[in-house]
Structure 1
Amino acid sequence: MTAVDAVEALAAIEERRPDLALIDLSMPGMDGIELTRLLRADPMTSALPIIMLTARATVADKVLGLTAGADDYLVKPFDTLELIARVRSTLRRNREFREVSPLTGLPGNNRILREITDRVHSGADYAVCYFDIDRFKSVNDAYGFARGDEFIAALARSLHRAVAEAGLPPAFLGHVGGDDFVLVLAPHQVRPTTTRAVTLFEAAADELYDPVDAQRGYLEMVDRRNQSYRVNLVTLSIGVALSTSRPFADPREVIAAASEMKTVAKRQPGSYVAVDKRSDVGSDSGAYPTVPAQRLAAAVEPAPVEQQTDV
Structure 2
Amino acid sequence: MSRLLVAGSPGFLPPAARTLLEAKGYQLKVCEQLPEAVALVLEDPPDLLLLEKGFVGDGDQRLIKAVSGCLQKGNIPIILVLELTELETELDWGVYPVDDIVTLPLVPSLLLARLQLAEARMMRVFDNNPLSRLPGNTSILRAMQRVLASGNDYAVCYVDIDNFKPYNDRYGFSRGDEVILMVARIIVNVIEEKAREGSFIGHVGGDDYVFIIKAEKAEEVCRQIIDNFNMVRNLFLNAEDIAAGAFVGLDRRGQETRFPLLSISIAVVTTGEGRYRHSGEIAAAASQLKHYVKRLEGSNYLIERRDSCVSGQEMSAA
2:187 to 159, 176, 181: 159
2:316 matched to which residue of 1? Answer: 294
CA contact (8 A) 1:235 1:295 kept: no
Indicate whether 1:123 and 2:139 are aligned: no
Give deviations 1:105-129, integer Å, cap 9, x for gaps. Answer: 1000000000110110111211100
Q: CA distance change for structure 1 residues 228 and 119 in 2, over 3 Å: closer, same or farther? A: closer
2:176 matched to which residue of 1? Answer: 148
SS at match of 1:127: strand
Unpaired segments ≥5 residues, structure 1: 1-76, 280-284, 297-311
Q: Which amino acid aligns with 1:147?
A: R
After superposition, where does 1:77-96 map in structure 2 within 5 Å?
80=87, 84-85=100-101, 93-96=120-123
CA contact (8 A) 2:303 2:309 kept: no
Aligned length: 214
1:89 CA drift (Å) = 8.1
Q: CA distance change for structure 1 residues 184 and 252 in 2, over 3 Å: closer, same or farther? A: same
1:239 to 263, 267, 279: 267
2:284 matched to which residue of 1? Answer: 256
Q: CA distance change for structure 1 residues 184 and 210 in 2, over 3 Å: closer, same or farther? A: same
In 2, Cα distance between the equivalents of 1:104 and 1:112?
A: 14
In 2, Cα distance between the equivalents of 1:226 and 1:131?
A: 26
1:44 matched to which residue of 2? Answer: none
After superposition, where does 1:220-231 map in structure 2 within 5 Å?
220-221=248-249, 229-231=257-259
Query: What is the RMSD of the two structures over their aligned residues, measured on CA atoms?
Result: 3.2
In 2, Cα distance between the equivalents of 1:224 and 1:83?
A: 44
Q: Which amino acid aligns with 1:259?
A: S
1:207 CA drift (Å) = 0.3
Give deviations 1:169-228, integer Å, cap 9, x for gaps. Answer: 241000001100001000111111111111222333210112322343221336899986
2:298 matched to which residue of 1? Answer: 270
CA contact (8 A) 2:128 2:134 kept: yes
1:197 matched to which residue of 2? Answer: 225
After superposition, where does 1:3-18 map in structure 2 within 5 Å?
none
Structure with greater Cα Rg: 2
Q: Which amino acid aligns with 1:188?
A: E
In 1, Cα distance between the equivalents of 2:86 and 2:132?
A: 34
2:206 matched to which residue of 1? Answer: 178
In 1, Cα distance between the equivalents of 2:272 and 2:254?
A: 51
1:270 CA drift (Å) = 1.2
In 1, Cα distance between the equivalents of 2:224 and 2:305?
A: 22
TM-score (norm: length of structure 2): 0.59
1:206 matched to which residue of 2? Answer: 234
Q: CA distance change for structure 1 residues 236 and 91 in 2, over 3 Å: closer, same or farther? A: farther
In 2, Cα distance between the equivalents of 1:252 and 1:269?
A: 28
SS at match of 1:85: strand
Q: Which amino acid aligns with 2:185?
A: R
SS at match of 2:177: helix
1:246 CA drift (Å) = 5.4
1:245 CA drift (Å) = 6.2
In 1, Cα distance between the equivalents of 2:136 and 2:250?
A: 35
In 2, Cα distance between the equivalents of 1:156 and 1:124?
A: 26
In 1, Cα distance between the equivalents of 2:251 and 2:283?
A: 35
In 1, Cα distance between the equivalents of 2:204 and 2:281?
A: 16
CA contact (8 A) 1:270 1:295 kept: no
1:51 matched to which residue of 2? Answer: none
1:259 CA drift (Å) = 2.2
Q: CA distance change for structure 1 residues 79 and 130 in 2, over 3 Å: closer, same or farther? A: farther
TM-score (norm: length of structure 1): 0.60
1:79 CA drift (Å) = 8.0
SS at match of 1:239: strand
1:136 to 164, 169, 178: 164
What percentage of residue pairs aligned between the two structures are identical? 32
Q: Which amino acid aligns with 1:100?
A: N
